[in-house]
Structure 1
Amino acid sequence: MNAYALHSAGATAAWLAFGYKLTALRKAPRDYALVALCGTLLFSAIAYTVAHPRVYVPVDRLLGFPNAAALVAMSCVVLGLAGQQFVLIFWAHPHGAARHRARPRVLSAVFVLLALFTLFPLAEPSERRPEDFALHYVDNPPLAVFLSVYFLYFVWGEVAVARLSHGYAKISHRLWLRRGLYLVALGSWLTLSVSLSRAVGIALAAVSVDPDAMEPALRVLGNLGALIVYVGWTLPGWGPVLGAPGRHLRARRQYRRLRPLRNALHELAPTIELPACADGFWRRLRPSCLEFQVYRQVIEIRDCQLALRPYADPGAVRVAGELGRAAGLGARQVLAVQEATRLASMVRSCRRHTVSDHQGAPPTATGPEGSGLADEIDWLVTVAEAMERSPQVAAALARGDVTR
């Protein structure tokens, strides 16, 4: 792949990422982190565009001095690295603490930009070099200092972005944000390794060793790292779409497994019913609608359970626990068998119009402590399956019939 194709692919990816996040900014114009992220992607897109071999010369002519495109591209890279750090700091810390932590990073970027704009005119790089600017001018002392300042900040900035994104990913509770930040960290490390290799190449060129053999591979890896970073920054927005088929199948499976239990309880407490999902064939097929239906089933099951609690047979529940432990079931499985027996005894006693004469019945089990909605759904699915298939549940109910 030649330099034109690489720059075109990188520039296209950068502009697409910027346009995608810009649509989100319209919905939250006061989100400072999102503003910084849009600015970061914009600077990256500009850097890629002006460094394109076919855009490089027109930019020089527009600004009026040779290799102006190189100065613009490097300045945009510095601003992009500072912007990424700004975003990550504001995501990971409260606003006041984030401002305090971000200030030195912003000041360091400003200092580097001042150094670059001061050193570049001193070097006077008169020959346009759109493809090998750094390698060609490495023997120019002022420009060598210029490149050293740029590469040192670039290395420091990439390390900071990689560490911040990886650290925030470990504490983030949003799945797709966490995955995106891991990709940002991966892309940053890859880009850093490419830059270090290019810096080694510049050092080799200074001692008359030709580093051109490495350049094609470094360009491919560098563009790959940048592409991974763009994917990581935008993944939280479009990533959930990738999980829609899996969500659909999971919600459908949960709905079908909970439906017999919900129907059995609802038959005995028909007044407990929540509003259904919106009408329409396609709307009912959406993962969000299926998830709402599952959530609706969970609420109705629990409400019916409370309404039918006087019909529970604590003796059968106790026997179910003994049978489960005797069968070598784990603690969670024993709890599921007991909960299934409690529900089955409610259904049986209510149909027979037999209220339990046991006083001080144990409270309704709710599953593992501290569980969220997803854990609650999984728990009720386990209970529903035990109620339908567990031999311990059937044996406990049969023994309850004998002892009555």
Structure 2
Amino acid sequence: MNVYLHPVCAVVAWLAFGYKLSALRKSPRDYALIALCGALMCSALSFTVSHPYVWGYVDRLFGFPNSAALVSMVCVVLVLTNQQIVLTFWAHPPERAWRRARPRVLAAALVLAALITLFAMTAPSEPRPKDFSLHYAGHPLYAVYLLIYLVFYTIGEIETARLSQRYAKVSHRLWLRRGLRLTAVGAWTTLGFSLIRITDVILSPYAVDLRPLEPVAWVCGDVGALLTHVGWTLPGWGPTLNAPRRWLRAWRQYRRLRPLWNVLHELAPMIELTAPANGFWSRFRPSTLEFKLYRQVIEIRDGQLALRSYTDPEAVRTATELGRRAGLTGKELQAIEEAAQLASMVRARERNVPPSAHPAPRTVTGPQGADLTDEIDWLVKVAETMNSPYVAAGVEGSTTP
């Protein structure tokens, strides 16, 4: 099974490492990012050297049989330690994070020392790239070696899962929460691997053959690792999955605001800002269209400000009263009021009605303190409300010539 799953895990891990390494170049003093790159690199090395085709090359490189097994397990210990360091630095200030990380680093150092010592004492001489753990599980020293490794592995994965779930609950970033939850799922999944391995070590003196469960163990270990690789990198590339939806939403809003912008631009051409030069492909990016949409909103507000002296208070009062009589309240009635303001401005300007000597002090009736996204949604609503019969009746029924 590892012949097929390990290459996939290795490729994904190397890609994830390269992806985060590019981010590390921009933030070389980000300790959490350094630890994450270390975890991904060690995971990639572990899967690479564990592949049967690479196993022999590693043995020849180090000069003793099954050295690939030791290298792989050392890498896994480093993966688990670095993962917990990442979560610690994400959750605490650097000074406090260092204090919390030291016991984990010390525990990893002791485990590594024990593994290297016991492996040297065991001296497994027969190369077993496909079933190393199963073949040597009955050896007393190797059983101790494997139990130390598996206990650390199990505790490390439980800690990673537990901390990921805890920090996902308090994170304010959507894709970070999703990434942490996926990492937790992956960590819990890998426990199937350690459970089968521990059971095999305990039952090996009784000649219990757990080889039928070997594929299950590898699936749990490798699929769990894949999920954690995706989870660690998801906060970085996850938002791009929303790109098509963002582009479509911005395009719809842009189209709905365009008629209002056209009218205001025709009456007050000075509201149009100088557009930046964009390449051919940049126009298809969501950020480019969103920028044009933001400009459109700003220019519409500038147009309202430039034409506010043409507001017909009587038309606004009439339209608002008609809406109130129809049972409209809250934002629906506010939209009628602002739409009537805009419509009366446009009509007065088109008919060359002299501006008021005392311009309306307020033309915006939308939600106060809203962010730009809410502002766009509000203006779209107002633009569509300008076609309301209450607005038309208020503007046409006004006594202003």
> Quick one: distance in 2 between partners of 1:331 and 1:113?
66
How many Å apart are 1:5 and its aligned residue?
1.8
What TM-score do you get using the length of structure 1 for normalisation?
0.88
* Pairing partner for 2:388 from 370, 386, 390: 390
Would you say 1:135 and 2:134 are equivalent positions?
A: yes
Would you say 1:21 and 2:11 are equivalent positions?
A: no
The residue number in structure 2 matching 1:183 is: 182
Would you say 1:81 and 2:67 are equivalent positions?
A: no
Q: Deviation per CA, 1:213-254, whole angstroms, max 9, x where unpaired?
A: 121133223222222222222334433443332222222111
> Would the aligned equivalents of 2:38 and 2:79 in 1 still touch at CA under 8 Å?
yes
The residue number in structure 2 matching 1:116 is: 115
What secondary structure does 1:125 align onto?
coil
Q: Name the aligned partner's letter for residue 238 of structure 1.
A: W
> Would the aligned equivalents of 2:192 and 2:220 in 1 still touch at CA under 8 Å?
no
How many Å apart are 1:294 and its aligned residue?
0.3
What secondary structure does 2:271 align onto?
coil
Q: Name the aligned partner's letter for residue 347 of structure 1.
A: V
Q: Name the aligned partner's letter for residue 378 of structure 2.
A: W
Count matched residues: 400
Report which stretch shifted further, 44-53 or 243-252.
Answer: 243-252
> Would the aligned equivalents of 1:314 and 1:358 in 2 still touch at CA under 8 Å?
no
> Quick one: distance in 2 between partners of 1:210 and 1:167?
38
The residue number in structure 1 matching 2:159 is: 160
The residue number in structure 2 matching 1:125 is: 124
CA separation of 1:366/1:98 partners in 2, compared to 1, >3 Å: closer, same or farther? farther
> Would the aligned equivalents of 1:278 and 1:284 in 2 still touch at CA under 8 Å?
no
The residue number in structure 2 matching 1:64 is: 63
Report which stretch shifted further, 348-357 or 372-381.
Answer: 348-357
> Quick one: distance in 2 between partners of 1:398 and 1:215?
81
> Would the aligned equivalents of 2:122 and 2:142 in 1 still touch at CA under 8 Å?
yes
> Would the aligned equivalents of 1:314 and 1:362 in 2 still touch at CA under 8 Å?
no
> Would the aligned equivalents of 2:14 and 2:41 in 1 still touch at CA under 8 Å?
yes
Report which stretch shifted further, 371-380 or 313-322.
Answer: 313-322
Q: Deviation per CA, 1:307-365, whole angstroms, max 9, x where unpaired?
A: 33333344444444444444444633232222222222222233342445888x57343
How many Å apart are 1:46 and its aligned residue?
0.9
CA separation of 1:47/1:335 partners in 2, compared to 1, >3 Å: closer, same or farther? same
CA separation of 1:383/1:37 partners in 2, compared to 1, >3 Å: closer, same or farther? same
CA separation of 1:303/1:403 partners in 2, compared to 1, >3 Å: closer, same or farther? closer
Unmatched 5+ stretches in structure 2: none
CA separation of 1:188/1:337 partners in 2, compared to 1, >3 Å: closer, same or farther? farther
> Would the aligned equivalents of 2:111 and 2:149 in 1 still touch at CA under 8 Å?
yes
The residue number in structure 2 matching 1:262 is: 261
Q: Deviation per CA, 1:95-120, whole angstroms, max 9, x where unpaired?
A: 33332332332222223222322333
> Would the aligned equivalents of 1:277 and 1:292 in 2 still touch at CA under 8 Å?
no
The residue number in structure 2 matching 1:221 is: 220
Taking the TM superposition and a 5 Å limit, the aligned residue runs for 1:171-320 are 171-320=170-319
> Quick one: distance in 1 between partners of 2:298 and 2:346?
17
Unmatched 5+ stretches in structure 1: none
> Would the aligned equivalents of 1:202 and 1:211 in 2 still touch at CA under 8 Å?
no
Q: Name the aligned partner's letter for residue 181 of structure 2.
A: Y
Cα RMSD (Å) of the superposition? 2.8
> Quick one: distance in 1 between partners of 2:13 and 2:93?
29
> Quick one: distance in 2 between partners of 1:319 and 1:108?
76
> Would the aligned equivalents of 1:277 and 1:293 in 2 still touch at CA under 8 Å?
no
How many Å apart are 1:275 and its aligned residue?
2.0
> Quick one: distance in 2 between partners of 1:15 and 1:29?
19
CA separation of 1:82/1:330 partners in 2, compared to 1, >3 Å: closer, same or farther? farther
Runs of at least 4 residues off by over 6 Å: none
Percent identity over the alignment? 61
Q: Deviation per CA, 1:253-286, whole angstroms, max 9, x where unpaired?
A: 1111111112222223222222214244433333
> Quick one: distance in 1 between partners of 2:321 and 2:97?
56
How many Å apart are 1:80 and its aligned residue?
0.9
